A and B are shown apart, each in its own frame.
Chain A
């Protein structure tokens, strides 16, 4: 089923592609205890599912990513966010694998989220949308996989927030996954990262146009808040070296300082550009819900402070399961030390794990930038196992 959805302050309408309505008979109970039924999940697939349904790979997108992983995004008109990785003859070869990517629960690219209409009240959900968690997103993905008739995934791959979903898959559905590739991620969201998220959320909620989350109904839009949130987040996606290399202290006006408060430095205009682009495609309330879900993620405390126990079930019931953890040297959002802790937990349970911290200079965003070592590691891992 194809549906249309509206985006940005001017409510531009776009076709957002394939949608599946899930949990039609039996509802899905969320972490908060609220039950959701017959809800939409938007997704894209690439390649063909083979006869024994053993070649499916699920890609889990990051915080503000979407299901358009390897084809043109109808809203931004840009290539998919992992176009260099997925496709014919690429690292994740769609001639060999059936690749699925769905927009996360709480997202705004067609999946069930706060800008959808509440059937009970016929109004847009806004803050009436239930608070969701990473586990809830994964449970929705699992329903989608079931609806596609797939019993076991050859691989689950994801970076950042997507990596958390990969880890959650190994805990919630250990029998349904063979290879797991969590990239630039962690077993929990650190206090520093929660702090940055909160600044972003406050920027949105303090914008008078946010209107307690009812901006769509009230014909308003917290553009400044959302844009500021995105600017803050973008600083964390890069690194000091990346900012130095890309922008330095370069000025837009080559003649020198203007002695006013317009944005003068290249880095400033870069952030403004990122902020302005973002408001055209992302729903402010959705940003609140998803950042909250990421902040809640903590596998360690889910298992009483013992991360190893999170992987106890997969160690016992799925001997074929293999992990490949990838991190990046200059990622300060999810530094390699976080991945090391996951490694130790996996090793302590005797789980087959490979780990690499790739030398990088694009910070956290390194996994979104073409990188031969990243491509080789992933393709080697999924093709030889």
Chain B
């Protein structure tokens, strides 16, 4: 079964027999791959009605909707993974989407183009124009990408939100950079895009647990619904 390279990387991060929500799933390419190869019970959200029908045709469960409005409908921790492939930069509220993803799932898998990739930097530096290439092929006036960031920016946001990065994979020309230690270190310069597996910080010691219960755990945003982190403690 052939699958888009970046989706293949994403699929590596998903455990077998797990549950996943693919946000912006298109015609369900990743969901179908995960279902066949990893026995994943997957669901999807997609904004294009044609793509939704194509996915349903494959026997996948996909709802026609807008992630920025419809994620709210999912109960806390209803999936093991929430996946967002190459789309966070198209969202109006990327930060809130990340928070929502980790409300409804234990792990979030997010892949994003790296705006600080050296070719982008050179393009801007030497030509003085917005970079256009294979990964970001749009003119500034018709791009769906409204919230570009670099790998470094993304990591800073994760830190701010108390999300920890469990795994990160950097890609350049359909190759993983982590084979080369030096390039891994300079990922923000050499990666075309990155794929991240993130989760909420866990508090293991008794003190922290008590603290978390006593005081609402503020992540720099106002949760719309009671923070699910309490529930996960109770389970443990």
* A343 & B73 in contact (Cβ 8 Å cutoff): yes
Return chain B residues, CB-CB under 8 Å to A348. Answer: 73-75
Docked complex: B20-69 residues within 8 A CB-CB of A? 43, 49-50, 52-53, 55-65
A339-367 interface mask toward B, CB cutoff 8 Å, 1 = contact, 0 = none?
Answer: 01001100110101111111100000000
A residues near B (Cβ < 8 Å) are 322, 324, 329, 340, 343-344, 347-348, 350, 352-359, 373, 376-377, 379-381, 383-385
Docked complex: B145-162 residues within 8 A CB-CB of A? none
Partner of B56, one of A324, A329, A344, A359: A324
Known: A377-B57, A384-B59. 8 other contacts (CB 8 A): A322-B61, A343-B63, A343-B65, A348-B75, A356-B52, A356-B56, A376-B53, A376-B57
| Residue B17, interface by CB 8 Å | no
Q: A343-B73, A357-B49, A358-B49 are in contact. Are A380 and B57 (CB under 8 A)?
A: yes
| Residue B78, interface by CB 8 Å | yes
Whole-angstrom distance between the alpha carbons of A70 and B50 in the complex?
27
Return chain B residues, CB-CB under 8 Å to A384. Answer: 57-59
Return chain B residues, CB-CB under 8 Å to A343. Answer: 63, 65, 70, 73
Return chain A residues, CB-CB under 8 Å to B52. Answer: 354-356
* A354 & B65 in contact (Cβ 8 Å cutoff): no
Whole-angstrom distance between the alpha carbons of A220 and B53 in the complex?
50
Return chain A residues, CB-CB under 8 Å to B78. Answer: 350
The 6 A-B residue pairs with the shortest CB-CB distance, nearest first, are A384-B59, A380-B57, A355-B63, A344-B73, A356-B52, A356-B64
Shortest Cβ distance from residue B84 to the other chain A in the assembled complex, whole angstroms = 18
B residues near A (Cβ < 8 Å) are 43, 49-50, 52-53, 55-65, 70, 73-75, 78
Partner of B59, one of A329, A356, A358, A380: A380
Chain A to chain B contacts (Cβ below 8 Å), 23 pairs: A322-B61, A329-B49, A340-B65, A340-B70, A343-B63, A343-B73, A347-B73, A347-B74, A347-B75, A348-B73, A352-B61, A354-B52, A354-B56, A354-B61, A355-B63, A356-B53, A359-B49, A373-B49, A377-B53, A381-B59, A384-B58, A384-B59, A385-B59
Return chain B residues, CB-CB under 8 Å to A373. Answer: 49-50, 53
* A358 & B53 in contact (Cβ 8 Å cutoff): yes
* B64 & A377 in contact (Cβ 8 Å cutoff): no
Q: A380-B56, A380-B57, A381-B56 are in contact. Are A354 and B74 (CB under 8 A)?
A: no
Q: A343-B73, A350-B78 are in contact. Are A355 and B59 (CB under 8 A)?
A: no
Question: Closest residue to B57 on the A side, CB-wise?
Answer: A380
Question: Closest residue to A340 on the B side, CB-wise?
Answer: B65
* A380 & B63 in contact (Cβ 8 Å cutoff): no
Return chain A residues, CB-CB under 8 Å to B56. Answer: 324, 354, 356, 377, 380-381
Return chain B residues, CB-CB under 8 Å to A380. Answer: 53, 56-59
- Residue with the greatest number of chain B CB neighbours at <10 A, chosen from A343, A348, A355, A373: A355
Return chain B residues, CB-CB under 8 Å to A347. Answer: 63, 73-75
Whole-angstrom distance between the alpha carbons of A355 and B73 in the complex?
14
Question: Closest residue to A359 on the B side, CB-wise?
Answer: B49
Whole-angstrom distance between the alpha carbons of A376 and B58 in the complex?
10
Whole-angstrom distance between the alpha carbons of A376 and B43 in the complex?
19
Question: Closest residue to B55 on the A side, CB-wise?
Answer: A354
Whole-angstrom distance between the alpha carbons of A356 and B55 in the complex?
10
Return chain B residues, CB-CB under 8 Å to A379. Answer: 57
* B62 & A354 in contact (Cβ 8 Å cutoff): yes
* A355 & B64 in contact (Cβ 8 Å cutoff): yes
Question: Closest residue to B41 on the A side, CB-wise?
Answer: A352
Return chain B residues, CB-CB under 8 Å to A322. Answer: 61
Shortest Cβ distance from residue A361 to the other chain B in the assembled complex, whole angstroms = 14
* B64 & A357 in contact (Cβ 8 Å cutoff): yes
Return chain A residues, CB-CB under 8 Å to B65. Answer: 340, 343, 355
Return chain B residues, CB-CB under 8 Å to A350. Answer: 75, 78
Whole-angstrom distance between the alpha carbons of A385 and B60 in the complex?
9
Question: Closest residue to A324 on the B side, CB-wise?
Answer: B56
Question: Closest residue to B78 on the A side, CB-wise?
Answer: A350
Shortest Cβ distance from residue B68 to the other chain A in the assembled complex, whole angstroms = 14
Return chain B residues, CB-CB under 8 Å to A352. Answer: 43, 61
Return chain B residues, CB-CB under 8 Å to A340. Answer: 65, 70
Return chain B residues, CB-CB under 8 Å to A329. Answer: 49
Whole-angstrom distance between the alpha carbons of A380 and B64 in the complex?
16
Shortest Cβ distance from residue A158 to the other chain B in the assembled complex, whole angstroms = 18
Whole-angstrom distance between the alpha carbons of A356 and B62 in the complex?
8
Shortest Cβ distance from residue B106 to the other chain A in the assembled complex, whole angstroms = 15
Return chain B residues, CB-CB under 8 Å to A383. Answer: 59
* B49 & A356 in contact (Cβ 8 Å cutoff): yes
Whole-angstrom distance between the alpha carbons of A286 and B6 in the complex?
59
Return chain B residues, CB-CB under 8 Å to A376. Answer: 53, 57
Whole-angstrom distance between the alpha carbons of A377 and B57 in the complex?
5
Shortest Cβ distance from residue A315 to the other chain B in the assembled complex, whole angstroms = 11
Question: Closest residue to A384 on the B side, CB-wise?
Answer: B59
Return chain B residues, CB-CB under 8 Å to A356. Answer: 49, 52-53, 56, 64
- Residue with the greatest number of chain A CB neighbours at <10 A, chosen from B53, B57, B62: B53
Shortest Cβ distance from residue B33 to the other chain A in the assembled complex, whole angstroms = 15
Whole-angstrom distance between the alpha carbons of A355 and B52 in the complex?
8
Whole-angstrom distance between the alpha carbons of A354 and B43 in the complex?
9
Whole-angstrom distance between the alpha carbons of A380 and B56 in the complex?
6
Return chain B residues, CB-CB under 8 Å to A359. Answer: 49
Question: Closest residue to B50 on the A side, CB-wise?
Answer: A373
